[in-house]
Amino acid sequence: GESVGLHLPTLSVQEGDNSIINCAYSNSASDYFIWYKQESGKGPQFIIDIRSNMDKRQGQRVTVLLNKTVKHLSLQIAATQPGDSAVYFCAEGSRRALTFGSGTRLQVQP
Amino acid sequence: NAGVTQTPKFQVLKTGQSMTLQCAQDMNHNSMYWYRQDPGMGLRLIYYSASEGTTDKGEVPNGYNVSRLNKREFSLRLESAAPSQTSVYFCASHVDGPQHFGDGTRLSIL
């Protein structure tokens, strides 16, 4: 089956800096992409999503960029805070059927 | 707002024992899902139910059965537990937007 992968398993940033988490996908038929945040002992928490007919979408302190040409997805977090420390997952497919990547751990240094 | 509620939160079984994991959502969502998450990996779909009365296999259905009891509840059953089924199990639901997850059941099989 198709797979979704992440370039970096662990990302360490300074508090206040911007964070960028990257994700590569391989299914060109995917029309929906989503980012989740998972804290220790909790379930995945929705952050932001984007349809394939868009290349950028912004939320509160977060931006998702989609480059369909190179099958690349990224999550940008502005002014990273200690509370942003978690594992971040990308997923692709459709709203009904998602394929998840293995996750990137974001560590925020004070 | 309870969202997606999973019970139990933790369980230890012996090989060969049976177990039912419960999931309930109070968001009036049509679709419900069961995933498993193994260390260092993303979520993998076990079974899903697109609507009340229907269920379909996902990526890793072997060793599991499901029941969509009503619109709110979707249970996952292990008939004869095996050590390979040691994992964290997540239930999710959605109707149109992103999937919403519970906080998981941590299952260990000895």
Task: Render pLDDT for B35-66 as a digit per residue (tens, 0 to 9).
Answer: 999 987 789 999 999 999 899 999 999 999 99
Taking contacts as CB-CB distances below 8 angstroms, the residues of chain B near A43 are 4, 90, 92, 101-104
Q: Is A4 on the interface with B (CB under 8 A)?
A: yes
Beta strand ranges found along chain A (DSSP E) = 4-5, 10-14, 19-25, 32-38, 45-51, 56-58, 62-67, 72-77, 86-93, 98-100, 104-109
A12 vs B9: CA distance, rounded Å: 31
CB crowding B51-81: b at 16 or more within 10 Å, else e: eeeebeebebbeebebebeebbbbbbebeeb
pLDDT digits (tens, 9 = 90+) for A51-104: 999 999 999 999 999 999 999 999 999 999 999 999 999 999 887 789 998 899
Query: Beta strand B65-68 with B56-57: parallel, antiparallel or unpaired?
Result: unpaired
Across chain B, what does the average pLDDT equal?
95
Min distance A72 CA to chain B CA atoms (Å): 18
For residue A3, the tally of other CB atoms under 10 A from its CB is 14
Beta-carbon separation of B59 and A96 below 8 A: no
Place of tokens 């989503």: A34
- Give the C-alpha distances (Å, rounded to integers) separating A109 from A20, A79, A85, B9, B102: 15, 12, 9, 31, 29
